[in-house]
């Protein structure tokens, strides 16, 4: 997992509440047993005018010109601006996979579904919660300012605007450290590899019959 310290990126606005995980990555794309390739179908139902299925050539599909990710000004966006209850619905981890694999590193919204928020952190995606008034102002500013970007500093827990305005955000210490160190659950476990091996050695020494073939 890629460590997160600071990030500056263009902001893309998704101005709707209760964005569920099936909208983020529709269920038909979960047939794949791989953990990669989901970014191509992020928000598939919003990006395209036809029904998407795995294996389709997206370059030949009719796009929705009104959806923000199809507009030139948001092509390089890496910060997604949303509303309240972002990531609701099913607990599929494919949703943060799709967001990250598309190129997003930060989400900014009023609130998130708990499981989705946890899955984001597990995959190196930082979900930031800001008050409604600030989110409202950001939507207005992004709409009127092509190429509008924000700078996120996880160490200082700040979001900085180009005009110098700075907003603090809260994140619990465990999530913060996991992201700063770039450690998913496997990585956290491997930090204790020596202790695990020592335990196994003691365990099998005191229970040698466990090593006897049956």
Question: What is the pLDDT at residue 128?
Answer: 98
The answer to whether position 139 is within a domain reads yes
Q: Is 183 helix (H, G, I), strand (E, B) or coil?
A: coil
pLDDT for 1 equals 77
In a domain, 196, yes or no: no
Q: Block means of pLDDT (10 residues each) for the chain, length 214 residues?
A: 91 97 94 82 97 94 97 96 96 93 97 96 95 98 97 98 97 92 64 67 72 68
Domain membership of residue 192 (yes or no) is no
- Kindly provide the b/e burial profile for residues 154-174, where b requires at least 16 CB atoms within 10 angstroms of the residue's own CB: beeeebbbeeeeebebebeee
How many structural domains is the chain composed of?
A: 1
Does 141 fall in a domain? Answer: yes
Helix (H, G, I), strand (E, B) or coil at 75: coil
Cβ neighbours of 92 (radius 10 Å): 20
32 assigned to some structural domain: yes
Predicted local confidence at residue 200, as pLDDT: 73
pTM of the shown model? 0.86
On whether residue 200 sits in a domain, the answer given is: no
Cβ partners under 8 Å of residue 169, min gap 6: 128, 129, 130, 157, 158, 159
Is 194 contained in some domain?
Answer: no
Domain containing residue 174: 6-183
CATH of the domain at 152: 3.20.19.10
Torsion of CA 34, 39, 41, 42, to 10 degrees: 120
Phi, psi of 24, rounded to the nearest 5 degrees: -65, -50
168 domain-assigned: yes
């Amino acid at each position: 997992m890629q460590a997160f310290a600071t990030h500056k990126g263009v902001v893309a606005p998704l101005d709707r509440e209760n964005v569920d995980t099936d909208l983020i990555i529709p269920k038909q794309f979960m047939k794949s047993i791989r953990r990669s390739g989901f970014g191509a179908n992020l928000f598939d139902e919003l990006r395209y005018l036809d029904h998407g299925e795995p294996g389709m050539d997206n370059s030949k599909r009719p796009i929705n010109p009104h959806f923000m990710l199809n507009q030139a000004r948001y092509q390089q966006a890496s910060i997604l601006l949303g509303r309240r209850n972002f990531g609701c619905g099913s607990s599929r981890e494919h949703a943060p996979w799709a967001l990250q694999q598309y190129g997003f590193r930060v989400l900014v919204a009023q609130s998130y579904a708990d499981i989705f928020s946890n899955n984001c952190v597990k995959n190196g995606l930082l979900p930031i919660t800001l008050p409604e008034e600030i989110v409202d102002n950001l939507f207005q500013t992004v709409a009127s300012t092509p190429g509008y970007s924000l700078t996120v500093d996880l160490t200082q827990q700040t979001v900085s605007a180009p005009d110098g305005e700075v907003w603090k955000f809260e994140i619990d210490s465990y999530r913060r450290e996991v992201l700063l160190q770039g450690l998913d659950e496997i990585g956290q476990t491997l930090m204790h590899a020596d202790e695990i091996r020592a335990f196994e050695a003691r365990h099998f020494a005191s229970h040698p019959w466990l090593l006897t073939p049956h």
